[in-house]
Amino acid sequence: MPEAPAQNVAADPKMCASDVKVHYGDKLALKGVSLDFRPNEVTALIGPSGCGKSTFLRCLNRMNDTIGAATVSGQVTLDGDELYGPNAIDPVLLRMRVGMVFQKPNPFPKSIYDNVAFGPRIHGLYRDNDHLDHIVETALEKAGLWHEVKDRLYEKGTGISGGQQQRLCIARAIAVAPEVILMDEPCSALDPIATAKVEELIDELRENFTIIIVTHSMQQAARVSQRTAFFHLGDLVEVGDTEQIFTAPAQQLTQGYITGRFG
Amino acid sequence: MPTIGDQHIVKSYDEALKRLHDALARMAGLTETQLHKAIEALEKRDSDLASQVMNADHEIDEAEHFINDQTVRVLALRAPVADDLRQVISALKVAGDIERIADHAANAAKRSLVLNQLPPVAPMRSLVRMGKLVAELLGEVLNAYLTNDAERALAVRSRDQEVDDLYSSLFREILTYMMEDPRTITSCSHLMFIAKNIERVGDHATNIAEQAYFVATGRSLNDQRPKRDTSAFEGVVQD
């Protein structure tokens, strides 16, 4: 497991969630979760299916807005800016600052270049075409994909392998220079080698971004994260340093889940 | 609603962990017997019993190999975490300690064969007393380990001081005997080595106590246990 960078103890958290509740219609899916995310750290959210971890992740860039029946209460802040309520920041701006990578690679049916250039184009983040070329190249470099695709930038993004597509989606997410990247089971559709590449990438990206990852693979949480949060039935049961969670968890429930005694 | 059970969802995982636990329990039992027999051989000047101890040592070595293999297997195939991980890692370390304890018992037995050919010497009584204390502590600590009892392990750990004190006074007693009657030097030198063997058993028992505490609680005992075995300074001229 990668070592956490030396943290200034007083360093402000990048994102803070306090008492976040989510209802899907009458059903309370998330029962008041408070959790802070430190800058330049990877936080893994683990827990059995239906525990609320993906629901919680989607609260962090207001993806739940797109689900009609979902209502969110509580507050989430990004560097002090409120995500919900009357003073909330513009969701479009928010999603530029908080990018997302999904379970299944979902490149647009456009060229590799256009996939990465999409965000900078709609947000107007480039001066001229040379600058846009530079942004695309840098994003693909950071995603570890440049050398594999530099001669086929104008081929379809959907034509490359699954692992490459997922790294393309990561390149697309980082092209708009977000501050936080959310990942919802980014490796569950990938083979072990592609998974290893994405995990290595996550570790490198941590230098510049704050990363929050939902994963069903306990070993992946152990490998890539510095902090791990365990969710169960809509509650945050335990959060701690990943090393502590996997060697001596404080809660019986956490221990039962990670050791596979949960039935 | 999901609940936490004592058992893993995958039954063969439980079986693998049980195999490891049972092998360790068996190894522990064998070694306790070895130590008891070695002390009895010293006390009763019983060379047959001493030979039995020496000949049985390979069984403990084999048990250790089996435990090492099982540990590697569980680590490779199951990637254990949390209490499972602690149990597996500690099994490896404790098996190492037990193997050393058995070696010390066999070594004591080997020296007793020489002692039995020489006239008895008086410090043997103190040595046997120390041996019985260490054997008792070892039994306690192995039970604490095998039953996940952190408190009992701590209690045994704190009693290692008694062993160190006995060892220090035995050291002086043996020195005195050798000075008074140089004809006892051969016997007394062997006694000295046996005393060291037994003192080392006490130290390994302490290690096992620390592992028991770690397995049960997830915390390491970091505070240094005070060492009051002063024999290392014996004979130093005071200012």
ipTM, two decimals, is 0.76
Q: What is the CA radius of gyration of chain A?
A: 18
Q: How far is A179 from chain B (nearest CA, A)?
A: 32
pLDDT computed for residue B221 by the predictor: 86
Please check whether residue A187 is in contact with residue A198, taking contact to mean a CB–CB distance below 8 angstroms.
yes
pLDDT tens digits for A182-240?
A: 999 999 888 888 889 889 999 999 999 999 999 999 999 999 999 999 999 999 999 99
Task: Give the whole-angstrom CA distance, residue A261 versus residue B10.
Answer: 8
Whole-angstrom distance, CA of residue A197 vs CA of residue A192: 9
Please tell me the predicted confidence (pLDDT) of residue B224.
Answer: 56
The first and second tokens of residue A101, run together, are 């990578």
DSSP per residue, A79-126: TTEESSSTTPPPHHHHHHHEEEE-SS----SSBHHHHHHHHHHHHT--
Burial of residue A92, with CB atoms counted within 10 A of its CB: 0-12 exposed, 13-18 middle, 19 or more buried: exposed
Structure tokens at B14: 């439980």
Position A263 scores a pLDDT of: 58
If you average pLDDT over residues B193-210, what whole number do you get? 96
Are B67 and B23 in contact by the 8 Å Cβ rule? The answer is: yes
Q: Is the CB of B82 less than 8 angstroms away from the CB of A247?
A: yes
On whether the CB atoms of residues B101 and B169 are closer than 8 A, the answer is no
Secondary element (H or E) of residue A213: strand A210-214
pLDDT for the residue A3: 52
Question: Under an 8 A CB cutoff, do A253 and B84 touch?
Answer: no
In this prediction, residue B178 carries a pLDDT of 94
Tell if the CB–CB gap between B9 and A260 is shorter than 8 Å. yes
Closest-CA distance, A223 to chain B, in angstroms, reads: 12
Q: Does A1 touch chain B (CB under 8 A)?
A: no
* DSSP H or E run through A238: strand A235-241
Interface of A with B in 109-168 (CB under 8 A): none
**Averaged pLDDT, B219-233:** 71
**Residue A261 near chain B (CB below 8 Å):** yes
Q: Find the closest chain A residue to B86 by CA distance.
A: A247
Q: How far is A263 from chain B (nearest CA, A)?
A: 5
The pLDDT, as a whole number, for residue A210 is 96
Give DSSP secondary structure letters for B109-173. HHHHHHHTTS---TTHHHHHHHHHHHHHHHHHHHHHHHTT-HHHHHHHHHTHHHHHHHHHHHHHH
pLDDT band at B4 (very low <50, low <70, confident <90, very high): low
Q: What is the pLDDT of residues B41-59, one digit of tens each?
A: 999 999 999 999 999 999 9
- What predicted TM-score, i.e. pTM, was given to this entire model? 0.82
**For residue B1, which residues of chain A lie inside 8 Å, CB to CB?**
233
Average pLDDT, chain B: 92
Residues of B within 8 A of A219 (CB-CB) are 79
Cβ–Cβ below 8 Å for B2 and A261: no
